[in-house]
Amino acid sequence: MTTPIAGDPRFFAGAGPFGLEAVVAAAGGTLAEGRAREGVMLHGIAPLHSATAAQVSFIDNRRYAAMLASTQAGAVIVAPALVDRVPAHCVPIVTRTPYVGWAKVAALFHPEPAANPSIHPSALIDPSAQIGAGVEIGPYVVIGPRAVIGDHCRLAAHAVVGAGVILGEDCRVGVHVSLSHALIGARVRIYPGARIGQDGFGFAVTDTGFLSVPQLGRVVIGDDVEIGANTAIDRGSAQDTVIGAGTRIDNLVMIGHNVRLGRGCVIVGQVGISGSTTVGDFVMVGGQAGLTGHLKVGDRARIGAQAGVMNDVEAGADVVGAPAAPVRVFMREIAWLRRAAREGWGELRSAAKAGRDDQNGQGAKGG
């Protein structure tokens, strides 16, 4: 088994080395007073336990403070409260948001590859499609009539962009993604296998069975959205399905027709959101939660993992459980159930003991 490597060059293009000043600037931090050293060159990033003198690390959780004391990193990004615990050989880069600093430094050493302007010979592009400047189109990509691909987009192998779809500038579309009936903003990341703009799950019930209802809406996706692998976002029925700017959607998420997600939402893996539900800005939905249709979830609400949401959720509320309830209510109910179970078990044992005693008494009489 090989030793773990952050940024394995077989898979991740690297940059650098960088001087300490450049790394500090990228992190948005400052050097701890009296700890600066001249001539320090840093070649990459690594976790605390494996970093070398040529690498940068970080700590954002006091649980790992003991690991900080033994790190061999050349520099470490830390909060002010932990500066005094950084070893003498290591330069502290101080910021109140170490994880944000780490993200920026990681991007400094491993920037996202730029599009390589090219069109693979196997790609099929309709003559009426518009292809922007600096676009990279991979093998077997299909781009339909009247589609618009913005500048500097990258389309990976076997991606399909349907008729009339618009992609803003600097988008990334992964392998085997299919896009239809969609208007997509700038800097959107769509990971492999995602299906966007398919028919919504809409039908009418008749005496003889089900009658499919034409799905005539679109999917409208704002700027800076990320959509995880194998996620499905259905187009609207008579209105649009909308994904607000800056929202992050994990892998294996299902979003039904006419759903409206606000700005900056976080939707974790295996969540299902049924049709015509409206979710406010900056809402967080935990893994495997399910939301029924036609609900309203207020801004900054938080929905716990595996919650079953069947009623509207107020802005700022925290709900858990199935059916979902406010955290305090849910925890009180759980405590009551556990107490009732303990008391019931105690009563059951008492009854069983009384029954055994009675049987023993009857046996003595019979003897």
Q: Which of 110, 152, 181, 257 is catalytic?
A: 257
Q: For tokens 């209802």, what's the residue?
A: 213
Query: How far is the C-alpha of 35 from the C-alpha of 88, rounded, in Å?
Result: 8
Q: Are 36 and 80 in contact (CB under 8 A)?
A: no
Query: How far is the C-alpha of 162 from the C-alpha of 99, rounded, in Å?
Result: 39
* Secondary structure (H, E, C), 88-140: CCCEEEECCCHHHHHHHHHHHHCCCCCCCCEECCCCEECCCCEECCCCEECCC
Query: How far is the C-alpha of 294 from the C-alpha of 278, rounded, in Å?
Result: 7
* 176: annotated active-site residue: no
Q: What are phi and psi of 8, to 5 degrees?
A: -50, 120
Distances (CA, A) of 326 to 271, 272, 289, 333: 19, 20, 15, 11
What SS3 state is found at 286?
Answer: coil
Distances (CA, A) of 146 to 92, 202, 367: 54, 27, 98
Q: What are phi and psi of 359, to 5 degrees?
A: -65, -40
The residues annotated as belonging to the active site are 257
